[in-house]
Amino acid sequence: MKGYHKKVLAIELTERKTSEIPLDEELLAKYVGGSGLGTRFLMDEADGSTDPLGEGNPLIMMTGPFTTTPVTTSSRHSVVFKSPLTGIYAESSCGGFFADELKKTGYDGLIIRGKASSPLYIWLTNEGVEFREAGHLWGQDIFQAHDRILEETAPRAAAAVIGPAGENLVPLAGIGHHGRHTRLAARCGGGAVMGAKNLKAVAVKGNLKSDVADMKALRESIRGLVGQIREATLPMNERGTAESVASNEKKGNLPLKNWYQGRWPEAQKLDGSVITETILVGKSGCRYCPIVCGRRVKMEDNPYGPVVESAGPEYESIGALGGLTLVDDLAAVVKANELCNRFGLDTISTGSAVAFAMEAYEKGIINRKDLDGLELTWGNGKALVEMVKKIGRKEGLGGILGQGVRSAAEAFGGNSVEFAIHTKGLELPMHDPRYYHSQALSYATSNRGACHLAGNCHSHESYLHFEELGYKEPFPRHQLEGKAELVAKLQNYNSLIDSLITCKFLQIGLITPTHHLEWYKMVTGREISLDQFLQIGERIYNLKRMFNVRCGISRKDDTLPPRILTHKRRGEGLVVNMPHLGALLSDYYEYRNWSEDGIPTIEKLKELGLEECL
């Protein structure tokens, strides 16, 4: 099978040595790469008793068969680990240049184990691996450390770096990338896992591409599609992912005031169009990407502190740092976003935590004394920026908020659990399940906790539909019948996508399961049917669930915060229609052939070739 180097590098930090793990074809055929293969390794390395911040938790960084090939958006990697935020399965995926450089070192991925006795970083090329002392980098933010590491290694290297948040073992910490394209593998606390390993960074550069079975056909296919992708995703190219902030607020998809409020026309001030007109200095994209959704912004005279040229806030970041907190001052949101990128903080979870604290402050559960005098009121941009710093530095109340809202609610007490908005410990992303009912079910069941990308299904309730999955048009948002099947199919499919790996935005570019199957055949040379292809996704999705089952996850955890299930947001133009989660789950387990408790049945595991999980 082509498309792979057929080996991963195991790195033992404790002993500072490495070994190669060969990958056989059966394994590759079953789990593909990315988070699929990553989960397969995680199953061997960790279980319910593994301490996420202990030496036993591996940090698995995987590329996919498409990485280094001409497949568009394929320079993505997946980080797989047990989450210190949720205590369960975690994957966090990231685009940019890292995946490409990593795979060009001659490995399909890394399994990083143990803990270094002192801070270090890894410098990996196809010539070998070096363990380098990182004492001088410890304490530096991601931008600083990244630039320094490239100085010390190679200017065109790519580095996965943690900031102070990761060093401080903050469970909201992600793993950052800077330079040509500032990006974070943000969700679930991978940065803290790195920090717990005393691992400041992984820098990679190589020149070994994996083979492609039919390069000519692949090049032709990609060439033939680039125009279509570019056209369909043009608004994102023109105004970034934030282009839909205002329209999502209007229709009721953007969460506001910690998921309480119905309308907030001030969102317009944070829309991509405003960013474009005011602070944009350029665009940036991942390697091999025709979409180029990334923004470069710069605000030297930002009243909340200067913002150097780096990634502008994405839709999700604006929703969390702006919508949830009602901060309509773009300068504050941009600064908070830059701070998250520097500290290495997940913007979704960080914004959620600040909004949670704002509500606790409003309700008198915490006070100014707890906040070192900060007036943590709705819409207060200064308070937002200061709280982000406190979270990154694990300072004062920031130390509690950095544990995520589930944990913070336990610490705060006083009914705050009622407005701690998470599923399985992961804060909800910025698509309201009361608007897109498919996301109600998908947030409730996604393997890493509330995740919009695991199903990516909201698009299929608005403008997308996959004929290969049996849909001739987008699915009605409020139709219950058949909704669970749609969600399960899309979760399976996106599990496959996260293993291949391509970007979810390709789906907006009208790239279908058939396109992906064709590319898979062209890259690997492996001839399989569409059904077999899609079944890989189902296998991987079930494997992830089985890891969670080991961690004690079952139906009881497949739920949504009470506010999402019961609170009606009202406002001009909004139609109230609460998602019927019980019925959706009922259909879902049935469709998946899971037990009524949400555990994959033996029959299903056998069908998927997952007997090893029994």
Residues making contact with a copy of itself (CB under 8 A)? 260, 415, 417-419, 552, 554-556, 558-559, 562-563, 565-568, 578-583, 585-586, 589-590, 596-597, 599
Tell me how far, at minimum, the Cβ of 521 lies from a copy of itself, in Å.
Answer: 39
DSSP 3-state percent helix, strand, coil across the chain (nearest 5)? 45, 15, 40
The structure tokens listed for 46 are: 């960790």
Q: Residue 511 or residue 599: which is nearer to a copy of itself going by CB?
A: 599
Q: Any idea which residue has 């469970």 for tokens?
A: 171
Q: Residue 306 or residue 582: which is nearer to a copy of itself going by CB?
A: 582
Give every strand in the sheet of 280-284, ordered side by side: 280-284, 294-299, 307-311
Q: Residue 480 or residue 530: which is nearer to a copy of itself going by CB?
A: 480
In whole angstroms, give the CA distance from residue 293 to residue 285. Answer: 6
Q: Residue 98 or residue 589: which is nearer to a copy of itself going by CB?
A: 589
- Residue 391 dihedral angles phi and psi, to the nearest 5°: -65, -45
Contacts of 94 (CB under 8 A, 6+ apart): 76, 77, 79, 160, 175, 177, 183, 184, 185, 186
Tell me how far, at minimum, the Cβ of 423 lies from a copy of itself, in Å.
Answer: 14
Distance from the Cα of residue 495 to its chain's centroid: 13
Cis amide bond preceding 501, omega within 30: yes
Q: Residue 141 or residue 558: which is nearer to a copy of itself going by CB?
A: 558
Tell me how far, at minimum, the Cβ of 402 lies from a copy of itself, in Å.
Answer: 23
- DSSP-assigned states of every residue in 535-561: HHHHHHHHHHHHHHHHTT--GGGS---
Q: Residue 1 or residue 578: which is nearer to a copy of itself going by CB?
A: 578
Q: Residue 306 or residue 476: which is nearer to a copy of itself going by CB?
A: 476
Tell me how far, at minimum, the Cβ of 326 lies from a copy of itself, in Å.
Answer: 17
Sign for the pseudo-dihedral over CA of 143, 147, 148, 153: positive
Q: Residue 343 or residue 589: which is nearer to a copy of itself going by CB?
A: 589
Q: Tell me the residue type at 39.
A: T
The H-or-E segment that residue 105 falls in is none
Tell me how far, at minimum, the Cβ of 372 lies from a copy of itself, in Å.
Answer: 28
Length of the chain: 614
Residue among 519, 454, 449, 516 at smallest CA distance from 489: 454
- Helix or strand or coil: residue 108? coil
Tell me how far, at minimum, the Cβ of 407 lies from a copy of itself, in Å.
Answer: 16
In whole angstroms, give the CA distance from residue 444 to residue 424. Answer: 8
Tell me how far, at minimum, the Cβ of 552 lies from a copy of itself, in Å.
Answer: 8
For the beta carbon of residue 43, count every other beta carbon within 10 angstroms. 18
Residue among 11, 25, 104 at smallest CA distance from 58: 11
Tell me how far, at minimum, the Cβ of 256 lies from a copy of itself, in Å.
Answer: 14
The structure tokens listed for 468 are: 């290969």
Tell me how far, at minimum, the Cβ of 356 lies from a copy of itself, in Å.
Answer: 14
The structure tokens listed for 206 are: 């190589």
Pairing label, strands 307-311, 294-299? antiparallel
Q: Residue 303 or residue 582: which is nearer to a copy of itself going by CB?
A: 582
In whole angstroms, give the CA distance from residue 438 to residue 380. Answer: 33
Q: Residue 303 or residue 413: which is nearer to a copy of itself going by CB?
A: 413
Q: Residue 244 or residue 423: which is nearer to a copy of itself going by CB?
A: 423
Tell me how far, at minimum, the Cβ of 330 lies from a copy of itself, in Å.
Answer: 30
Tell me how far, at minimum, the Cβ of 578 lies from a copy of itself, in Å.
Answer: 4
- Residue 545 dihedral angles phi and psi, to the nearest 5°: -60, -40
Tell me how far, at minimum, the Cβ of 49 lies from a copy of itself, in Å.
Answer: 14
Which bin fits 450, alpha (ψ -120 to 50), beta or left (φ > 0)? beta
Q: Any idea which residue has 């079944």 for tokens?
A: 535
Q: Residue 415 or residue 514: which is nearer to a copy of itself going by CB?
A: 415
The H-or-E segment that residue 461 falls in is none
- Residue 23 dihedral angles phi and psi, to the nearest 5°: -110, 120
Q: Residue 389 or residue 563: which is nearer to a copy of itself going by CB?
A: 563
In whole angstroms, give the CA distance from residue 109 to residue 96. Answer: 16
Q: Residue 29 or residue 565: which is nearer to a copy of itself going by CB?
A: 565
- Helix or strand or coil: residue 6? coil
Tell me how far, at minimum, the Cβ of 81 lies from a copy of itself, in Å.
Answer: 24
First vs last C-alpha separation in the chain: 29
> Mutual orientation of helices 215-232 and 513-524 as an angle, nearest 10°?
150
In whole angstroms, give the CA distance from residue 63 to residue 72. Answer: 14
The H-or-E segment that residue 520 falls in is helix 513-524
Tell me how far, at minimum, the Cβ of 259 lies from a copy of itself, in Å.
Answer: 10
